[in-house]
Structures are given as C-alpha cells and as structure tokens.
C-alpha cells in the first residue's frame, strides 16, 4: 500500500484513465487508511475494538465515499492528448 504522499500521482492517473471520480477517490482514501502496517500498529497500540472500528470505518469510508461521488458527479469528460497518424498515403 501507499502512503498519503505517494498516492496523489496515482490518483491523477486513475482519474485520467477511468474518467470517474469514485474509483479514484476510493483509491486515494484506501491507500493510507487500509495500509496493513498502519492497521497492525493500531492493533498493537490500542485495544482490538479500536483497531476493528478503525478498519471498519476506513472500509466504509472508502466504499461509500466512492459510490456517493459517482452518484453526484457521474462520468466526466477529460481532455486527452492523442497523436493522430497521418492518413496521407500519397507519398509512398
């Protein structure tokens, strides 16, 4: 998993690739929130109920925030840079 600093460029790439905010936002929230090292550290430092609540709240935030963002914003149009190949075959 990624930390919150490293997920920003990946968020941009997923958003440009899918043109949907839901999956991109879900990935951006899931990377630091569902990081196995952070969850294990929470379990080591706190009671198992706190760690379980943190994991469940993180999972709910990831799933529901993505779904709500998709419902509100839907599919967006993203300008894409495409290299067009010349169709001029008269120079062969």
Question: Would you state the pLDDT for residue 67?
Answer: 85
Q: What is the mean pLDDT of each run of 10 residues along the chain (92 residues)?
A: 70 77 82 85 92 91 85 67 52 52
Distance CA 37, CA 1 (A): 9
Instruction: Supply the pTM of this predicted model.
Output: 0.63
5 DSSP 8-state letter: T
Question: Would you state the pLDDT for residue 22?
Answer: 82
Please tell me whether residue 75 adopts helix, strand or coil conformation: strand
Ordered by start, the domain boundaries in the chain are 7-73
Distance CA 92, CA 84 (A): 18
Question: Would you state the pLDDT for residue 52?
Answer: 92
Question: Would you state the pLDDT for residue 2?
Answer: 61
């Amino acid at each position: 998993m990624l930390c919150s600093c490293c997920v920003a460029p990946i968020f941009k790439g997923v958003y440009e690739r899918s043109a949907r905010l839901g999956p991109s936002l879900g990935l951006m929230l899931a990377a630091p929130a569902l990081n196995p090292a952070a969850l294990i550290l929470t379990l080591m430092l706190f009671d198992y109920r706190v760690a379980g609540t943190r994991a469940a709240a993180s999972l709910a935030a990831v799933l529901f925030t993505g779904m709500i963002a998709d419902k509100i914003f839907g599919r967006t149009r993203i300008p894409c840079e495409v290299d067009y190949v010349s169709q001029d075959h008269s120079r062969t």
